[in-house]
Structure 1
Amino acid sequence: MPVTTLCTGNPHASTNILRHATSTKPLVLWRHRTHTIPVARSRLPSYPGRFSWNASSCILRRSPPSFRTAHSQRGVPYRRAYSVANNAFPSHDEVYLPGIDLENLENYTPGGYHPTLLGDAFHNGRYEVVHKLGYGSWSSVWLARDRHLQRYVSLKILVANASSKSTEGTILQMLCSGDLAHPGRRFIPRLLDRFSFDGPNGRHLCLVQEPASCDIAASKEDSINFMFPVEAARSIAAQLIMGVSYLHSRGVCHGDLYIRNFLLYGPSLDCLSRDELYKRYRLDTTPISRVDGAVLQPHAPPFAVYPMHIKMPADKLVDPTIKISDYGTSFSISTEKCPKLYTPALYLPPEDFFGEPITQAADMWTLGVNLYEVLGERPLFESFGWDRDDIMAEMVNSLGLPPARWWDAWENRKEFFEPDGSWVHNVRRICTPVFRRLHQRMWDMGRGETPETCQWDVERGEMRTLEELLRGMMAFEPTERLTAEQAMKSEYMVKWAMPAWERQRERRTRIKPDGEDLGTCDAETSRKGHHQ
């Protein structure tokens, strides 16, 4: 039986704590242990083709078709993820046997996920669920067929507790109706429809959008060298900067910028029938069982669906088109009084570590951290279990001393630094950070270690201007960081990133005269990706 290794601090606590480690408590050391977890798989059970209608929820429910589920060659499906793997050790208060690479099954409860099934039809039968795209802490995302327009769409179904308070639909609608002339507007997902419905766990908001192929993190994971080609990387950098510039011009702070929220769009699936879709993108499921062995209640579906895997390997991508997704924690800077960030700790700005006010400058920090990772092969900051003390030490290693108020408030800085700010020689940590300034980290991106071998145009100043841009975006003091508008006018953007994007647009316009932008891979890679 295949096994997966997870790193958790408590075998009875969800490992989502590693992703959403956003507490404002003083920085302390978290201890983590490694556990080996058996992975159980199953085939999709056979159901007769029955239909049932729930008048109160306006859901047309059809039992799934009868066919056998294909399995991953390695026994474990690829993680298409908006979340880290969930806890695989049931505690005394858990209801369901946990799964691997699935949403937290404990959230199938009143106020939680809607128990979506393949074949469900929403909004008076218009949208029929055919596959799963992903999941997050606050939603599950499904591929559905729009019966009115005969196209595929994504259905983002929010948990019931978040649906009534969510402003995501309102923010998306406002962004989609904004300045048509702004170059960054195209990098915001279109809101095609939104509606609410009632289910066994409460009332849910559903947002309908165009389906993406994968996120940037998955694209890098599927590649050989974990990097985009140089020209594609420059283009992505331009798209991200333009997109954030548009958000900020509309008075919105995203609040959760990181590479799993940057979606890549490939060729349309609309030409595929449902049967053809299943042939290309296999369907993996596993039964959901209760810890006590009792019969499942209506709060949970009978089986869980693994997200579909559409491969767009970064190293094969020619003309990437991205959109900035997930506005569930976004806010308007003019109305939100005490905004909170839910960004993974590795990308959080230092002001969040110390409980200071969050502004649009927080987006600029997280964008800078993400740009380094998008343009290279590895994260800017590296830490075991995303320990906050390690991350803070990485910030200081890279960028120098923080403001005195943060330096003095950091309780555990003595584990890394002498009182004068010099590096402690005998650092004793689970994973000891390596002292590297930002300039050295620029050479550690994987693009070459000497001016002669570097893929960046070192002679003409590309690396220098990129370092200047990142340093400006990641100034410790929020008020001293570059704004998105200033980043748009930076030398790196003007000389390197924007020209790459414009060349891509020109190529795509020749291919598709209507100007639609789609990421492309070579045909052989696309075929392989569809069948793996």
Structure 2
Amino acid sequence: MFSSQWTSSPRKFPPPSIDVLDPSLKIEEETLPTYRPEKYYPIYQGEVLHDRYQVLAKLGYGVTSTVWFGLDLLDSKYVAVKIYVTGQGRNRELDIYNRINSVESDHPGKRFIRRLLDHFSITGPHGQHVCLVHELLGISSSELMEWTPGHAMTLEDLKPVIRQLLVVLDFLHSVARVIHTDLQLKNLLLPAPEPKALSSRTIYLSSFPPTGRGLPLLCDFGEARFGDDEHHEDIMPNPYRAPEVIIRSSWDYKVDIWNVAMIAWDIVSPCTLINGKNQDGVFDDRNHLAELVALLGSPPPHFRQRSHLSSAFWDESGSWKGSAPIPDQTLESLASNITGEDKEGFLRWLRRALRWNPEDRPTALDLLYDEWMMQGLKMRGKGDAAKA
């Protein structure tokens, strides 16, 4: 039924031609260990949500939601609709966006966060589903790296991306008081292609993979936390976890600083900095910490005193107990394939962020104005770095 407020008519889809699959074959969200079908909204292609957003295609899925390519029938533009599973209670991501949007600030970092355009709830067979409507963006940086020769960029290509990310983090930490906790390449989305307007018609630029110009925007605040609170939760993807998270200690904004270094490494190296798997191929905290000891040296006493779990890995003098072998590797040896100028400067910058004690890590602004990060940037004034 056509709504009088719509400026676009809903797309019409032909009757689906469905191949019945073997029910034992799991696909997409069905492969997740926590998957329960009744928690996900049973959407169908062409469905109009909230009398406004028509679902056209699936973009992705996860433990807490599915994401859909949609058409805003009211404003005649494409959007991304995130439909959460039931049983979420208060929606953390919506609360975080409300905090971000309530901040009146001209800080440039706010511009590089994916915008929340709308939100609403729908009722499914098993309860309520919170829906978030975001601006449509392009592919993720992790997908871009898959198509990049050698799966790595140069140190020169790295700097603009990390500069912008640090500007975003300065806004989140110092102005909005938000900790992202889940910084990784898949949560940095490139802009969508811009249409080219002519006098008589609109020509859309061809693009494969679909992406536009510009640096990636930060998205996915589903695991973000308010910085005003004290936190002990288990967060972050396994290889990216900061050491205070591994030993179940309290954590704060500085987990994001640790993650910036991990993202930077993933951009310039085809191999991850941390493997963390034991002989059975299972990610293991003992192997993770053993690798950190190889890369960073033994942790200082103050770090070991943060949690009683430290005694499982180090003795009273700080010596490694040998619960997993310390690999024979260094940052320098792992960085042998990194290309670009001043690799030594990059490793020094990396070590500033990868410190055992979170209080020893610099702020986002400190990392941004590091001598190595500023090399190659022509600045008329200090504030220009935030616009680079």
> TM-score if structure 2 supplies the norm length?
0.80
Cα deviation, 1:342-394, whole Å, max 9, x if unaligned, reads: 31110001111111112111111122222211233322212334332221111
Kept in 1: contact 2:154–2:338 (CA 8 A): no
* 1:141 alignment partner in structure 2: 67
Amino acid at match of 1:120: E
Amino acid at match of 1:378: C
Show the 5 A alignment for 1:481-492. Answer: 481-492=361-372
Distance 2:237 2:309 in 1: 22
Show the 5 A alignment for 1:444-463. Answer: 444=336, 446-448=337-339, 455-456=340-341, 458=342, 463=343
Show the 5 A alignment for 1:315-394. Answer: 320-334=214-228, 336-384=229-277, 385-394=282-291
Pairwise CA distance, 1:493? 2.7
Q: Would you say 1:406 and 2:304 are equivalent positions?
A: yes
Cα pair distance change 1:498/1:136, threshold 3 Å? farther
Cα pair distance change 1:102/1:339, threshold 3 Å? same
Q: Would you say 1:258 and 2:156 are equivalent positions?
A: no
Pairwise CA distance, 1:127? 0.5
* 2:24 alignment partner in structure 1: 97
Amino acid at match of 1:371: A
Relative contact order higher in (CA < 8 Å, ≥ 6 apart): 1
Kept in 1: contact 2:162–2:260 (CA 8 A): no
* 1:107 alignment partner in structure 2: 35
* 2:128 alignment partner in structure 1: 203
Kept in 1: contact 2:261–2:354 (CA 8 A): yes
Instruction: Give the SS at the match of 1:144.
Output: strand
Instruction: Give the SS at the match of 1:351.
Output: helix
Show the 5 A alignment for 1:189-268. Answer: 189-249=114-174, 250-268=176-194
Distance 1:114 1:262 in 2: 26
Show the 5 A alignment for 1:49-128. Answer: 64-66=13-15, 97-104=24-31, 107-110=35-38, 112-124=39-51, 126-128=52-54
Pairwise CA distance, 1:397? 0.9
The partner residue of 1:494 within 354, 361, 374 is 374
> TM-score if structure 1 supplies the norm length?
0.60
Pairwise CA distance, 1:156? 0.8
Kept in 2: contact 1:139–1:157 (CA 8 A): yes
Kept in 2: contact 1:175–1:188 (CA 8 A): no
Kept in 1: contact 2:84–2:130 (CA 8 A): yes
Amino acid at match of 1:211: L
* 2:5 alignment partner in structure 1: none
Show the 5 A alignment for 1:431-442. Answer: 434-441=327-334
Greater Cα offset, 150-159 or 380-389: 380-389
Kept in 2: contact 1:382–1:433 (CA 8 A): no
Distance 2:149 2:47 in 1: 38
* 1:295 alignment partner in structure 2: none
The partner residue of 1:155 within 81, 93, 96 is 81
Distance 2:291 2:223 in 1: 26
Cα deviation, 1:245-301, whole Å, max 9, x if unaligned, reads: 111011111121122211122314799xxxx99xx99xxxxxxxxxxxxxxxxxxxx
* 2:351 alignment partner in structure 1: 471
Q: Which runs of 4+ in 1 moved over 6 A?
A: none
Distance 2:92 2:283 in 1: 29
Distance 2:344 2:194 in 1: 39
Kept in 2: contact 1:128–1:145 (CA 8 A): yes
Kept in 2: contact 1:373–1:380 (CA 8 A): yes
Cα pair distance change 1:352/1:493, threshold 3 Å? same
* 1:518 alignment partner in structure 2: none
Cα deviation, 1:419-443, whole Å, max 9, x if unaligned, reads: 985897xx9x7xx7742222333x3
Structure 1 portions without partners, runs of 5+: 1-50, 53-60, 70-89, 91-95, 282-308, 449-454, 507-532
* 1:15 alignment partner in structure 2: none
Pairwise CA distance, 1:481? 1.0
Distance 1:498 1:175 in 2: 30
Pairwise CA distance, 1:103? 4.9
Kept in 1: contact 2:53–2:70 (CA 8 A): yes
Kept in 1: contact 2:234–2:248 (CA 8 A): no
Cα pair distance change 1:107/1:413, threshold 3 Å? closer
Distance 1:129 1:498 in 2: 45
Cα pair distance change 1:422/1:109, threshold 3 Å? closer
Q: How many residues align?
A: 361
Distance 1:230 1:484 in 2: 19
Distance 1:213 1:393 in 2: 38
Distance 1:497 1:139 in 2: 40
Instruction: Give the SS at the match of 1:475.
Output: coil
The partner residue of 1:176 within 80, 97, 101 is 101
User: Alignment identity in percent?
Assistant: 25
Q: Would you say 1:395 and 2:292 are equivalent positions?
A: yes
* 1:515 alignment partner in structure 2: none
Pairwise CA distance, 1:180? 4.1
Distance 1:495 1:324 in 2: 24
Amino acid at match of 1:383: G
Kept in 2: contact 1:368–1:474 (CA 8 A): yes
Kept in 2: contact 1:238–1:493 (CA 8 A): yes
Instruction: Give the SS at the match of 1:476.
Output: coil
Pairwise CA distance, 1:97? 3.1
Kept in 1: contact 2:29–2:62 (CA 8 A): no
